[in-house]
Structures are given as C-alpha cells and as structure tokens.
Amino acid sequence: MSKSTSQSTILYLRQKLNGLKIHESSDLLEHINTFEELVGDQVCVDVKIEDKNKDMILFCSLPPLLTAITCNINATNSLRFPQERWLEIISREPRAFVYHNFLTDKECEHLISLAKPNMAASKVRDTITGRGIDSSSRTSTGTFLRSGNDKIVKDIEKRISEFTFIPV
C-alpha cells in the first residue's frame, strides 16, 4: 500500500471504530463481535490501541443504561437517590441480578389493581393428564396480565426490554 492509501485506510478504520454505536434492535454479542473485528482491522494496519482505550471506545458505543449496569458501582443505598434505578449483581455464574427501584409505587399499585380481580390458586401439573390440578403443597396465587394492556404496562414492558436487551 502507498503511504497515502495507508493513511486514508487508517483514518477510515479509526472513524468506523469511533463511530460504532449499538442500536435498540442490535444483539449485544453481535455488537461486541463487530467491535472486536474493527479492533482487529486496526491491528492489521499496524495501529496499536491500548486496552484502556479499547475499553473506553467500547463503553462509548453502548447505551447509557448498559454502561450504568456494566459499571456496577458498589455503593450503599444511602449514597443513592431514593428513586434511582440501579443493578446489583448477585452472581455472574449463574447469572442473578437485583434491579433496585425498578417499578415505582404507582406502577406496583396499578399492577396489583389489574391482577387482584383475577388471582387464582396456583396449580401443579398432573403427570398423567398434563393438566393443572389443585395441590395442598402449593399455597401461592397468581394470574397473567395481557401484554400491552395499557400505557403503564407498555412502559413497564419497554423498561424490561431496555434492561434485559430482549425485544418487547
């Protein structure tokens, strides 16, 4: 490659890497693979990127919510705003998280008011017929809410999607 072609290639690859952004419909692992490919392209043209710079470029390509989740700053509730949503990582293997302040009091009350009239005793599966049957060992009650039931439910579903990176 000539020097001018090499410089334009380097500039193109650098702009492509620095302009990388994940979109709502994108898969996170696919995004990371694309990031790794772009970093590999830089190496192919002898551009060295320090690990701390790679981390920063990757973080900047992620949406703010994921960046906040990934950082997992260990702080007590007293250091946080009372209504701030934050993620606590309980375990990476198996994956277990607590999403603090995920729903507002108003949202909780709304879900309860939708569910309460339809609550029914939980059943167990009959191994012979496959049907649900009552059992004295099962003491819970539950119900299902229709997806997109109303604006509040839609907003909650959207938030779940944003936190889990799974489409609504």
Domain presence at residue 42: yes
- The confidence score (pLDDT) of residue 153 equals 95
The CA–CA distances, whole Å, from 105 to 84, 108, 110 equal 13, 5, 9
Residue 111 lies in a domain: yes
Domain tally, the chain? 2
Does 57 share its domain with 108?
no
Give the pLDDT score at 118.
94
Q: Is residue 93 part of a domain?
A: no
Q: 161 and 107, same structural domain?
A: yes
Domain containing residue 8: 1-61
Predicted pLDDT of residue 72: 47
pLDDT of residue 66: 55
- Which amino acid, one-letter code, is at 37? E
Whether 61 and 35 have beta carbons less than 8 Å apart is answered as yes
CA-to-CA separations, 80 to 64, 143, 160, in angstroms, rounded: 17, 34, 21
Q: Is residue 125 part of a domain?
A: yes
Residue 44 covered by a domain: yes
β-pair partners for 97 = 89
Residue 96 lies in a domain: no
CA distance 154 to 131: 31
* Dist CA 32 CA 21 (whole Å): 10
Residue-level pLDDT, tens digit, the chain, 168 residues: 444 447 777 777 777 777 777 765 567 778 788 888 888 888 787 777 777 777 777 776 776 555 545 444 444 444 445 567 777 777 777 878 788 888 999 999 999 999 999 999 989 998 899 998 988 888 899 999 999 989 999 999 998 888 777 788
In this structure, is residue 108 part of a structural domain? yes
Within a domain: 90: no
